[in-house]
């Protein structure tokens, strides 16, 4: 893992303000509470796509809650509020290199395409520093599930059958549908990478696109807090 670990204003949380530095020099930050060693952590990721502010807001509101409630008894967790900080700054899906990070993961189905559209997978798998950071983090921390926050049509999608229980747990409080796939192929996505390469289930939360940002936390707080409090057995 890169970057210095600093103290946070909650004593159980560690922060890495410069976990990854992007191609433009902007910092991606990471927060974690790995106090308990008996179970594998949850990994939460916001802002994979820079034009989906609902996902970043969900991660930030979750972090605010954790700041005041996180304890030594939490199910261990790692949270990246915004992976694609450059895209987020410009309200664009891709990163500063025009790459869709959710097509850049080194899964066995990664496919090259030189079409520079919104799904451009990059010149090669894991070409981007944001992707490399997450790939290294997954090998080091071995999360039991990866949950990333997006916006589109409201639903919760899981990759890998063991993701179903997490996906259904996260629909309490919003009654969104959960599905085993999004309905079209996503080679090189985080979901394909986690499940095909590591057998780690990956859950993709899709909030309603253009949902007022202040509503987002209320749709997922029950599920996310429940996970941290170990309510999903």
List residues binding Zn ion (CB under 5 A). 49, 52, 150
- Report in angstroms how near the CB of residue 96 gets to Zn ion at its nearest: 17
Give the distance between the most distant pair of CA atoms in the chain: 48
- Report in angstroms how near the CB of residue 154 gets to Zn ion at its nearest: 13
**Collapsing DSSP states into helix, strand and coil, what is residue 207?**
strand
Torsion angle of the four alpha carbons 218, 150, 42, 7, in this order, in degrees rounded to the nearest 10 = -80
- Report in angstroms how near the CB of residue 92 gets to Zn ion at its nearest: 12
Specify the residue, 15 or 84, whose C-beta has the smaller distance to Zn ion: 84
Dist. CA 182–CA 66, nearest whole Å: 29
**Collapsing DSSP states into helix, strand and coil, what is residue 220?**
helix
> 């097509």: which residue's tokens?
103
Task: Tell me the residue number closest to Zn ion, measured at CB.
Answer: 150
Specify the residue, 69 or 153, whose C-beta has the smaller distance to Zn ion: 153
Contact (Cβ atoms closer than 8 angstroms) between residue 203 and residue 157 = yes
- Report in angstroms how near the CB of residue 222 gets to Zn ion at its nearest: 23
Specify the residue, 49 or 219, whose C-beta has the smaller distance to Zn ion: 49
Specify the residue, 52 or 74, whose C-beta has the smaller distance to Zn ion: 52
């Amino acid at each position: 893992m890169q970057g210095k670990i600093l103290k946070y204003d909650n004593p159980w949380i560690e922060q890495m303000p410069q976990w990854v530095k992007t191609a433009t020099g902007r910092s991606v930050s990471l927060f974690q509470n790995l106090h308990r060693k008996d179970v594998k952590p949850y990994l939460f990721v916001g802002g994979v796509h820079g034009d989906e502010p609902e996902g970043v807001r969900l991660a930030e509101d979750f972090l605010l809650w954790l700041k005041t409630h996180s304890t030594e008894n939490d199910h261990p967790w790692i949270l990246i509020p915004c992976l694609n900080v450059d895209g987020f700054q410009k309200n664009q899906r891709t990163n500063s290199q025009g790459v869709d990070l959710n097509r850049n993961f080194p899964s066995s189905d990664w496919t090259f395409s030189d079409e520079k559209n919104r799904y451009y997978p990059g010149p090669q798998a894991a070409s981007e520093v944001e992707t490399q950071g997450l790939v290294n983090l997954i090998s080091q921390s071995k999360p039991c599930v990866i949950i990333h926050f997006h916006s589109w049509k409201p639903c919760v999608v899981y990759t890998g059958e063991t993701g179903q229980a997490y996906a259904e747990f996260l629909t309490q409080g919003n009654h969104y549908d959960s599905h085993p796939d999004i309905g079209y192929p996503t080679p090189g996505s985080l979901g394909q990478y986690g499940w095909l390469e590591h057998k780690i289930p990956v859950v993709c939360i899709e909030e309603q696109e253009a949902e007022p940002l202040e509503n987002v936390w209320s749709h997922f707080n029950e599920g996310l807090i429940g996970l941290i409090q170990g309510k999903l057995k």
